Chains A and B, each alone.
Chain A
Amino acid sequence: MRLVRYVPAVLVLVVAGLPLAVPWLKIVLTVALAKGLAVLGVVVLLRAGQVSFGHAMFFAASAYSAAFLMQGFAGADLVVLLLAGMVCSGTIGAVIGLFVVRYRYIFFGMLNLAFSMVLYALLEKMFHITGGSDGMAVGRPTYLGLELGRTSFETALFYTSLGLAGAACWFVHRFLRSPLGEALSAIRTNETRLEYLGISARWILLIAYVLSAVLAGLGGSIIAVNQGVVTPDLGYWIRSGEFVFIAILGGAGHVLGAFAGALVYELVRFYAAAMAADVWQMILGFVLLGIILFASRGIVGLYRDLAALTPGPRGHREPLR
């Protein structure tokens, strides 16, 4: 049972090594990591007890920013695309955030959904600019100034995504343990006391909202260059629901859960679609039902339960928050 404590490290190594053994899988894993970043954004807001049903808008906005950049500056670098995507989603997040952080719970969720549907409609209807439902092609950018072939680029993109996911996990983990992160959690438990400490709950939520938008934007940029095409579907409400779904699957409110959930989701989806093309959504539904009924704290909760059974200090440590 002691081996249980090494499971996360082993899984990271397995994910890092998988593309070497099964090269075609790196596309699926990159998609999972990109979605994991967006889910991490959702997880940040879950700390404040707020669920966003519209975070796909940031995913789509930065994906389209990558498409526009590649259209305007052919041969732009991946680093530039990623940075531009984060700036774009962060800016949109700050503007929309100023409005939505005034609301809580169902109103917060629905307002995010409403904004995302406005963006979706714009992407659909502004055919001459966005390509409508056909979307836009995204050429292959250079990688740190190097022009790589398709396979090499996909490999580089996968490992870059893995590194960015690790860095994002570390940053969000630190953020949530900082006074800002603790104040964010306090919005969920007692907003009145927060105000009587002299802290603006709206301001704290706005900072978290912009951070979550930037994370979703980073995922959007990665998915754009990974797929080579962007369509309005990236910003559709079903995509936003998918992020919430993955957050619950991974373990609501947990940093590592975002990526664990995204990996399981993408792999289940991939294999279910390959082996049972007509009923893969039903299989996913059963997986979520199983998680809610038998492991309501998600994959990370399952892991913790196993780790708690393990003798030794790990089982008694404070939870990673």
Chain B
Amino acid sequence: MSGTLLEASNLHISFGGVTAADGIDLEVFNGERLAIIGPNGAGKTTFLNICTGYLSPSAGSVRFGERDITAMAPRAITRMGIARAFQTPQLFHDQRVIDNLLLAAAARQRTWNPFRPLQDLPERDEMLDLLELCGLAELSTQMINELPEGNRKLVDIAVALALRPQLLLMDEPTSGVSTLEKFRIMDLLVEALAVQGVTSVFVEHDMEVVKRYADRVAVWSAGRIQSVGPPDQVLADPSVMRDVIGI
């Protein structure tokens, strides 16, 4: 690990009587894969929402590199190099897989020539390579609404990677898919992240996935971070197993 890429300091946010962030301090280092675990309602997704500008914290700040990105608009944060993949894939369902990626490429390059068809963008080959990297090459001309959930998740991640982000935040990239499918998705994802040199943070409920793919793990509990460290160390803690995993 070298250098801090993202730094959240003393984040606070509440929804009515529920405190979703109660003094969150967390650093994400360049090149790492950080897993966030914790029970439902602990504030994991809220953290991602704050980091990507969807929510503004009532106190605290988020720094990305040298810049304070607290309460910036999602699109501004995206342009700075933070991409996001969602728990429920957020895609353009009436378009083809390749079109979803090409639109991301156009957004990245700010290619808005009204006379050039999306299909003819010079980034087309790059996007086809990215689809191949994500194991989706065969599906490039499929409509999104014809894909099974596992592939939609991968396309959602591929769209985020098409932005060539420095940091990718993923909310439960393997939820709603079979165990076999989980490891296929994670294998492909980890390879794609390594090839592109992208730092990642992912919310995860499956401890096997965390053990196998995370460099570090942060444990969330009632809006606080209970512990942070290497998976084998954190998951060996009986209090984590009892309070968070329920074993």
Question: Which chain A residues have a beta carbon within 8 Å of chain B's beta carbons?
Answer: 171, 174-175, 177-183, 185-186, 189-190, 192-193, 195-200
Q: A182-B99, A200-B75 are in contact. Are A193 and B114 (CB under 8 A)?
A: no
CA distance A1 to B111 in the complex (A): 42
- Contact partner, B117, options A174, A193, A195, Cβ 8 Å: A174
Distance to closest chain B CB from A145 (angstroms): 30
A–B pairs, 8, beta carbons within 8 Å = A178-B118, A180-B112, A183-B103, A186-B103, A189-B95, A190-B92, A195-B75, A197-B75
Known: A182-B99, A182-B103. A190 touches B114 (CB 8 A): no
Q: A180-B112, A195-B78, A197-B107 are in contact. List 10 more A-B contacts (CB 8 A).
A: A177-B117, A178-B114, A181-B118, A183-B107, A189-B93, A196-B78, A198-B76, A198-B107, A198-B163, A199-B107
Q: Is the CB of B75 within 8 A of A179?
A: no
Q: Tell me the complex Cα distance, A180–B52, Å.
A: 24
Residues of A near B163 (CB, < 8 A) are 197-198
Residues of B158-195 whose CB lies within 8 A of A: 159-160, 163
Q: A199: which of B75, B102, B113 is its contact (CB, 8 Å)?
A: B75
Within 6-39 of B, Cβ neighbours of A (below 8 Å) are at none
Contact of A179 among B92, B121, B160 (CB under 8 A): B121
Set of chain A residues within 8 Å of B75, measured between Cβ atoms: 195-200
Docked CA distance A178–B106 (Å):
10
| Contact indicator B103/A180 (Cβ below 8 Å) | no
User: Considering the chains assembled together, what is the distance between the CA atoms of A186 and B144 in angstroms?
Assistant: 13
**Would you give the shortest CB distance from B2 to chain A, in whole angstroms?**
27
A-binding segment of B83-91, B207-215, B239-247: B83-91
The interface residues of chain B lying within 8 Å CB-to-CB of A200 are 75
Distance from A297 Cβ to chain B, minimum over Cβ atoms (Å): 15
B74 interface residue, CB < 8 Å from A?
yes
Of A174, A185, A197, A198, the contact of B114 (CB 8 Å cutoff): A174
Question: Shortest beta-carbon distance, B109 to chain A, in Å?
Answer: 9
Partner of A197, one of B76, B104, B116: B104
Beta-carbon nearest neighbor of A172 in chain B = B114
Output the nearest chain B residue to A177 by Cβ-Cβ distance.
B117
Contact (A189, B114) CB under 8 Å given A179-B106, A198-B163 = no
Q: Which residues of A contact B106 (CB under 8 A)?
A: 179, 182-183
Chain B residues lying within 8 Å of A171, measured Cβ to Cβ, are 114
A164 to chain B, nearest CB (A): 18
B143-163 interface bits toward A, Cβ cutoff 8 Å, 1 = contact, 0 = none: 000000000000000011001
Q: Contact between A185 and B94 (Cβ–Cβ < 8 Å)?
A: yes
Q: Which residues of B contact A189 (CB under 8 A)?
A: 92-95
- Residues of B with C-beta under 8 A to A196: 52, 74-75, 78, 83-84, 90, 160
Residue in chain A with minimal CB distance to B121: A179
Q: Is B108 an interface residue (CB 8 A)?
A: yes
Residues of chain B touching chain A, judged by Cβ–Cβ distance below 8 Å, are 52, 73-76, 78-79, 83-84, 90-95, 99, 102-104, 106-108, 111-119, 121, 159-160, 163
Q: How far is the CA of A193 from the CA of B52 in the complex (A)?
A: 12
Shortest CB-to-CB span from B81 to chain A, Å, is 10
CB-nearest residue of chain A relative to B89? A193
Chain A neighbourhood of B93, CB < 8 A: 189-190
Minimum C-beta distance from A277 to chain B (A) = 44
B160 to chain A, nearest CB (A): 8
Q: Kindly list chain A residues whose C-beta atoms are within 8 Å of the C-beta of B99.
A: 182
B161 → chain A closest CB, angstroms: 12
Q: Is the CB of B114 within 8 A of A175?
A: yes
Asked if residues B107 and A190 are in contact (CB atoms below 8 Å), the reply is: no
- Residues of chain A within 8 A (CB-CB) of B113 are 178-179
Whether the pair B95, A185 counts as a contact (CB closer than 8 A) is yes
Instruction: Determine whether the beta carbon of A185 is less than 8 Å from that of B92.
Output: yes
- Taking a contact as CB atoms under 8 Å apart, the answer to whether B159 and A182 are in contact is no
B112 to chain A, nearest CB (A): 5
Instruction: Find chain A residues with CB under 8 A from B83 CB.
Output: 196
CA distance A186 to B118 in the complex (A): 13
Q: From B115, which residue of chain A is reached at the shortest CB distance?
A: A174
Q: Which of B90, B108, B121 contacts A193 (CB 8 A)?
A: B90
Residue of A nearest to B162 (CB): A197
CB < 8 Å neighbour of B102 from A179, A185, A193: A179
- Say yes or no: A198 contacts B78, CB within 8 Å: yes
Q: Which of B76, B95, B114, B117 lies at the interface centre, i.e. has the most chain A CB atoms within 10 A of its CB?
A: B114
Cα distance A199–B79 when bound, in Å?
A: 9
Please name all residues of chain B whose beta carbon is closer than 8 Å to the beta carbon of A190 when the two chains form the complex: 90-93
Min CB gap B119→A, angstroms: 8
Question: How far is A254 from B211 in the complex, measured between Cα atoms in Å?
Answer: 52
Q: Which residues of A contact B112 (CB under 8 A)?
A: 178-180
